[in-house]
Structures are given as structure tokens and as C-alpha cells.
Amino acid sequence: KQIPALNEVFTPSAETIAHARRVVRTFEEADTGLVVIDGKLIENLHVEGAKQMVAMADAITQMEQAAAE
């Protein structure tokens, strides 16, 4: 009973996850140390955080799907 509530509270919003995926994708496609997204300078530090967020969101989605089966 508590896990779904905790996941809801701590799971990033769909918009935040989409932005994180965009950061990772853009950085990988650019193959440089810096990119600019929406006028903001994105460095590797930001990309690592975005990758962690995407991994967390994907893990929560997988757990929810497994629990629904």
C-alpha cells in the first residue's frame, strides 16, 4: 500500500523525465563536452544527473508493470 504512494511522491514528472531524456540524447548526438538546450548550457555533470533520473523513472515503470501482472 505504501510503495505506490511513495513512488508517486518521488517519481519525477513526465515533463521532467522527457527533458532529462532530451538532455541525454542531445549530449550524445553532439559528441562534445558542452551543448546548449533551450538557451541553457549543459555540461557532463547535468547529463549524469539526467541519466540517473531516466534510470530511476525506468526502474519505477518496470516495477509498476511487474506489480500489475
Q: DSSP characters for the chain?
A: -HHHHHHHHHSPPHHHHHHHHHHHHHHHHHTSSEEEETTEEEEHHHHHHHHHHHHHHHHHHHHHHHHH-
1-56 residue pLDDT tens: 687 788 778 778 999 999 999 999 999 999 888 999 999 999 988 999 999 999 98
What phi, psi does 25 have (nearest 5°)?
A: -60, -45
Please say whether the beta carbons of 22 and 54 come within 8 A.
no
Residue 2: the pLDDT is 81
pLDDT at 67: 83
Q: pLDDT at position 10, please?
A: 79
What's the pLDDT score for residue 57?
A: 87
